[in-house]
């Protein structure tokens, strides 16, 4: 079995694969102050609760955009699983080419998402990850990643409303019945959700226009990807486990177990 872990700015998502089958996946809050023991005990408890024997895990792959967490997490793998983790980074085999102006600036999560989408759905495509930031990554039919767009995530936008204003409350992010808000809360929800739907549709439209290709497939993932994909025809496929699948694909390109 293979343990795959994606460490994001907001959440850490982990999953266990047996062959190509994912046995389970779990999400925890990213905290840079957590120790390797805290991560270790948490993971062991999750695995035990799901009746997965941690001793059967033979390999681990990790992608991270939070350097402060990596020291503790790598020590977790060594101490509790007795495994040296494979870390997504320069020199690792991915099957795609980073062809933009500065490949080393590309986050590991973006690489992993691109790999999974390209391997499963082919190119050309646009990969949208609705995370702390929302990223739009363009991959051509040859598996080359050349272009990307980055915008504030919908949660960041929501937090800006209630933390940077004196009287606006913290709200649940959900689509209201109508864009015509009848209260402070529904007006905020309308602005956030309908506004974000508009952003997605316009950015996808402009990417297709500039590439002169209306047939580019659009694949979305991320915590709020379901909300967005349900509300717009600009997204063709929503895959909530895209990053976990991408980690397994990269693992298999680099390690035989």
Task: Give me the active site residues, please.
Answer: 109
Q: Where are the beta strands (DSSP E) in 140-179?
A: 144-152
Structure tokens at 207: 């990417």
Contacts of 111 by beta carbon, 8 Å cutoff, 6+ apart? 63, 88, 94, 96, 98, 145, 246
CA 82 and chain centroid, separation: 27
Contacts of 183 by beta carbon, 8 Å cutoff, 6+ apart? none
The answer to whether 136 and 153 are in contact (CB under 8 A) is no
Question: What CA–CA distance (Å, rounded) separates 60 from 3?
Answer: 5
Element holding 29 (H helix, E strand): strand 21-29
């Amino acid at each position: 079995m293979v343990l795959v872990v994606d460490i994001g700015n907001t959440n850490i998502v982990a999953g266990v694969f047996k062959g190509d089958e994912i046995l389970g996946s779990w999400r925890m809050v990213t905290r840079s102050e957590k120790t390797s023991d805290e991560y270790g005990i948490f993971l062991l408890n999750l695995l035990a609760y799901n009746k997965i024997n941690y001793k059967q895990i033979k390999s681990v792959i990790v992608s991270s955009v939070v350097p402060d967490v990596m020291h503790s997490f790598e020590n977790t793998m060594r101490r509790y699983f007795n495994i040296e983790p494979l870390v997504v980074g320069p020199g690792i085999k991915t099957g795609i080419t980073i062809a933009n102006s500065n490949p080393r600036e590309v986050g590991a999560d973006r690489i992993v998402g691109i790999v999974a989408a390209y391997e499963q759905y082919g190119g050309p495509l646009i990969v949208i990850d609705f995370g702390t930031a929302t990223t739009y990554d363009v991959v051509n039919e040859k598996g080359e990643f050349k272009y990307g767009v980055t915008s504030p995530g919908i949660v960041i936008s929501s937090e800006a409303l209630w933390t940077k204003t004196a009287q606006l409350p913290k709200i649940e992010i959900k689509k209201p019945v109508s864009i015509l808000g009848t209260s402070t809360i529904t007006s905020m929800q309308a602005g956030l959700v309908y506004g974000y739907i508009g952003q997605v549709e316009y950015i996808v439209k402009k990417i297709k226009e500039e590439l002169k290709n209306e047939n580019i497939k659009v694949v979305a993932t991320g915590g709020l990807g379901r909300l967005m994909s349900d509300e717009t025809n600009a997204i063709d496929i929503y895959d909530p486990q895209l990053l976990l699948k991408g980690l397994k694909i990269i693992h298999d390109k680099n390690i035989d177990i």
